[in-house]
Amino acid sequence: MTKNTQKITPKKMQDILYKLFLKYKFSKEKAQLMANVHTESTLLGVHSHGINRVPLFIEYVKKGIIKIDAEAEKVESFGSIERWDGHFGSGVVNASKCANRAVELAKLNGMGMVALRNTNHWMRGGTYGRQIADADCISIIFTNTQPNMPAWGGKYSRIGNNPFVVSIPRKEGHVVLDMSISQFAFGKINNYKLRGEKLPFVGGWDSNDQLSNDPEEILLKERGLPIGYWKGSALSIILDMLATLLSAGDSTYRVGLNEYETGVSQVFLCIYPEVFNDKELQEKLINEIIDYTHDVEPMNPGDKTYYPGEQSSKTKTKNLKEGISVNNSVWEKIVELSE
């Protein structure tokens, strides 16, 4: 804990966020859900999409970009797949509802999918991966975003970092991949800049159109690097296509026409593995993979390998014990907003 941060208990964070969201006229149910989700994300160590994002969220609410009373509704369905319209409501509320619906469909049919359009930023994608895993289902979910990376070969940012989430339920801790398609989030790049450090690997282009690990240079033009260069570029494009055509919603292109990032498209695909009566075998197979990758000499002394989601689960355990470190000015801002 530095002098710029203070420890907040999860209970305190939840209470103040609940109060804040109520003040901004969200229903009790929505306010509770959003307070839980933001607190949980922060507990897991993802401050950028937890507590730190709250002031921006409130700004969007004030501007009317996020509609307080909107309810996501089903607009079309066929068998195990459905299309929903989020009517520009809270991204967290909409995503949570659609993730639940995908679980219901999967438990009926083995698989279910909800494609959601006209929604807002879902904050931390892993939220819905863990929610679906808590319901004993596998998830494959993704969202598009505003343009923030160049397509490979192009000069300007025209593809999104389109977070991609896969989760698998597991007794000893869910396996949760929650990754954006950019090598580094701009928030992370900015943290390097503030610390006066270079990125450990190239993370975007400088003003001379060269790949760079200089955070200051990259932030000048905000052209992030896709993971795997041309590969992540292609992955980003096709995820955007899937989210857009399945939901009949806005693509990264269309989202980029707005002044603010809103109206994004998302897909919640869910598989219920318990339709096969071998839950124990499935756990054993997953644990074998975890043991095999854990039980290996590190590349650099002291390093460790992790399964997806393992580190954030450990952070949560630590934060539950010690309280959550929150930046003083972020916390003061939120307290002020809530009063």
Chain residues 229-268 in contact with a copy of itself, contact rule CB under 8 A: 229, 231-235, 237-242, 244-246, 248, 251-254
49 annotated active-site: yes
With 0-12 / 13-18 / 19 or more C-beta atoms within 10 angstroms meaning exposed / middle / buried, residue 290 is middle
Q: Which residue has the tokens 């808590």?
A: 134
Task: Give the strand pairing for 111-119 and 81-85.
Answer: parallel
171 binds a copy of itself (CB under 8 A): no
* Residue 188 Cβ vs a copy of itself, minimum distance, rounded to whole Å: 12
276 binds a copy of itself (CB under 8 A): yes
The rounded distance, in Å, linking the Cα atoms of 162 and 234 is: 12
* Residue 113 Cβ vs a copy of itself, minimum distance, rounded to whole Å: 6
**Cβ atoms 74, 56 nearer than 8 A:** no
**Number of chain positions touching a copy of itself (CB under 8 A):** 79
Give the CA angle between residues 120, 127, 339 to the nearest 5°: 65
159 binds a copy of itself (CB under 8 A): yes
User: Among residues 90 and 157, whose Cβ is nearest to a copy of itself?
Assistant: 157
Binding residues among 37-96 for a copy of itself as defined by CB under 8 A:
76, 78-81, 83
Structure tokens at 295: 């039980």
The rounded distance, in Å, linking the Cα atoms of 218 and 206 is: 5
152 binds a copy of itself (CB under 8 A): yes
The rounded distance, in Å, linking the Cα atoms of 60 and 29 is: 20
203 binds a copy of itself (CB under 8 A): no
Binding residues among 17-46 for a copy of itself as defined by CB under 8 A:
none
308 binds a copy of itself (CB under 8 A): yes
User: Among residues 67 and 254, whose Cβ is nearest to a copy of itself?
Assistant: 254
Q: Which residues are catalytic?
A: 49
